[in-house]
Amino acid sequence: MLYWFRNATRDLSKKSVGAKISKILIVEDNHQNALLMKRVLGARHHQIIHAEDGESGLQAAVEEIPDLILIDLGLPDIDGQTLVAFIKRVPELKNIPIVAVTAWPEETAREMAQAYGCDGFISKPINTRTFSDQIGEFITAD
């Protein structure tokens, strides 16, 4: 299930579903989940960067300045919510769209993602048939 929020930072009028090749940072501790997302998005030729915890995710975000960040809310060092809150405080990163990818119950996921400033959330397990298009919703064309 995909949800995006009306107060999202991206300009929806410029969306181009899956058309643009983008640099996407995946912050996900579960290697199987990360591998699945990498394969699905890699098939659309996106450049994928993977970080397995919050600290390395923040470092990768600062170094790489990705076009989109996918964050698992349940990370092993700092919570995904805390990471989102921190990213939103960094001037160079604060306008990058963030999508929570989470196994939390839908209502909780929606509340958390919206309150912490995510642009949307996708429930786990991801649907490999629709995931690329869902992600495309968050990638704006130049």
Partner 1 sequence: MMPIDDHERNIDLIPASAFSFEELTDAYNHTRVDYMVPMPMNVNKLREYVDTYDVDMDASAVAVDGYEVLGLGMLGIRQGRAWITRLGVIRRNRRHGTGQAIAAHLVEQALQKGSDYIILEVIKDNTPAHNLFLKFGFKETRDLVVLRRPPGPPKIEAPAAEIIPMRYSGALDLLDRRVTTPSWLDEKESLINAGNLEAFHLTLADGSQGWMVYQNTVFQLGRIVIQTDKGDPINVGRALVHHLHSKHRAQDTKTENLPLTDPHLPVFRQMGYLEMFQRIEMVRSL
What residues make contact with partner 1 under the rule CB under 8 A? 29-30, 53, 72-79, 81-82, 85-86, 89, 102-105, 108, 111-112, 115-117
Compute the least distance from the CB of residue 117 to partner 1, in Å: 7
Compute the least distance from the CB of residue 50 to partner 1, in Å: 16
Q: Which is nearer to partner 1, 20 or 35 (CB)?
A: 35
Please, which residues have CB within 8 angstroms of residue 28's CB and are 6 or more apart in sequence? 34, 37, 50, 51, 52, 70, 71, 72, 101
Q: Which is nearer to partner 1, 47 or 78 (CB)?
A: 78
Contact between 135 and 21 under an 8 Å Cβ cutoff? The reply is no
Pairwise CA distance, residues 61 & 5, whole Å: 22
Compute the least distance from the CB of residue 102 to partner 1, in Å: 7
Chain centre distance of CA 132 = 12
Pairwise CA distance, residues 51 & 29, whole Å: 8
Q: Which is nearer to partner 1, 51 or 139 (CB)?
A: 51
Compute the least distance from the CB of residue 85 to partner 1, in Å: 4
